[in-house]
Amino acid sequence: MTATEIELITEPEADRPAVRLKGVTKVYGDLVAVDHLDLEVPKGSVFGLIGPNGAGKSTTFAIIATLLRQTSGTVEVLGVDPRHAARTVRRSLGYMPDVLGVYDDLTVGEYLRFFAGSYGIPGAAQNDTISGLLELVDLSIKHDSQVNTLSRGMKQRLSLARALVNDPELLILDEPASGLDPRARVELRMLLGQLRDMGKTIVISSHILAELTEMCTEVAILERGRLLASGTPAQIREQLGGAREVEARFADGTVERFEVDGIDAQHLLLRSLVDDPRRLIELRDLGTGLEDLFMRLTQGEVQ
């Protein structure tokens, strides 16, 4: 029995993370796509995986989604090793890849029925499942429309509905907002909020870092297949030294930037700004978002 298996037995199910990667490495020839990655995604969390192109996000997702085998390290998805029980994992997993693959010659209803059948949902239950999903993604009116007549945003929502067809516990979304217009992005964000409220664990990657700031309870930053930081945005900030930048604008038109480190310093700064005779009219936090953390951590290196 391996150490991981012993750990699995002794660990209470409720405490088990939805996903746990330990020293996971994936090598393609000379290319190390994922390099000794350690990651834990708590159940019920919205976990953001951030990194530049080629950071290893999609490879990590493919390993979690039972598509790829890691070269070394251990992977546990919903308490199961996907290498040995891929089918068990797939029952409770929804995966939306970064590319939009849909059958254009089917109607929306037929498309979802096909995937419902692929998950072994019996014919009688398929109608309820499909109508429920279409309502969730706001595509009920498109039930009989050909998929090729849908806009990109609608296709993205349909793809999300497809990933939800088996009512998964764990949802893996690889760049779900890519190529969407601002309105479609807002709709998608609201939809993911609904799913989070339904108690699903969501692992998401996106280039729109501001979106992840609003949605994610935890994030991990990857570069060149290596984990640079993980935790809540606040924890990562602390790991980086805690310094954040704020910008103050005064009534006389002057603008000043300050770096503050820790709660006490923040409090003192605010007090001094309020008492400033130039009369403070606006205060902006420049260093609270993931974008800032991301830029500070990564060098934009692509393998």
Partner 1 sequence: MIAVNPVLAREMRSRMRGRRAAVLITFWLAFNGAVLAVVYLAAQNVAERQFGFAGFANTFSIGRGIYEWTLCGMLGLMLLIVPAQAAGAIAGERERQTLIPLQVTLLSPWRILVGKIGASVAFLVLLIVTGMPLLAVGYLVGGIAVADIVIGAGSVLVAGLLVAALCIAISTFARRVQSATVLCYALVLALSIGTLLAYGAYAVIDQSRGSDGADPPAALLLVNPVAFVSDIVGDEQLSDLPSPFDGLHSLVNQDRSNNEPFVVDGPVVFDAATGQPVIGDPFGGIAAQAPSDEGVPFWVLSGLALSSAAVCALSLATWRLRTPAETER
**Where does this chain bind partner 1 (CB under 8 A)?**
28, 62-63, 65-69, 82-83, 86-87, 90-91, 93, 95, 97, 99-106, 110, 114-115, 117-120, 122-123, 159, 162, 166
Nearby residues of 85 by Cβ (< 8 Å), 6 or more positions away: none
Look at residue 175 and give its three-state secondary structure: coil
CA–CA distance, 82 with 61 (Å, rounded to integer): 12
List the one residue out of 24, 30, 83, 22 whose CA is nearest residue 59. 24
Nearer to partner 1, 31 or 186 (CB): 31
CA–CA distance, 215 with 93 (Å, rounded to integer): 20
Least distance from partner 1 to the Cβ atom of residue 33, Å:
10
Least distance from partner 1 to the Cβ atom of residue 46, Å:
20
Nearer to partner 1, 21 or 63 (CB): 63
Least distance from partner 1 to the Cβ atom of residue 67, Å:
5
Least distance from partner 1 to the Cβ atom of residue 25, Å:
13
Nearer to partner 1, 88 or 266 (CB): 88
Lookup result for tokens 């080629």: 54
Strand partners, 255: 249
Lookup result for tokens 């991990």: 220
Nearer to partner 1, 166 or 201 (CB): 166
CA 54 vs CA 50, 184, 222, 240: distances in Å: 11, 26, 9, 23
Give one DSSP letter per residue of 79-113, joined into a string.
TB-TTT-HHHHHHTEEEE-SS----TTSBHHHHHH
Lookup result for tokens 């770096």: 259
Look at residue 283 and give its three-state secondary structure: strand
Nearer to partner 1, 6 or 99 (CB): 99
Least distance from partner 1 to the Cβ atom of residue 222, Å:
18
Least distance from partner 1 to the Cβ atom of residue 165, Å:
9
Nearer to partner 1, 83 or 278 (CB): 83
Count the residues in the chain.
303
Nearer to partner 1, 87 or 279 (CB): 87
Nearer to partner 1, 119 or 258 (CB): 119
User: CB count, 10 Å around CB of 219?
Assistant: 25
Indicate left, alpha or beta for 253 from its phi (over 0: left) and psi (-120 to 50: alpha).
left
Burial state string for 102-128 with b = 16 or more CB within 10 A and e = fewer than 16: beeeebbbebbbebbeeeebeeeebee
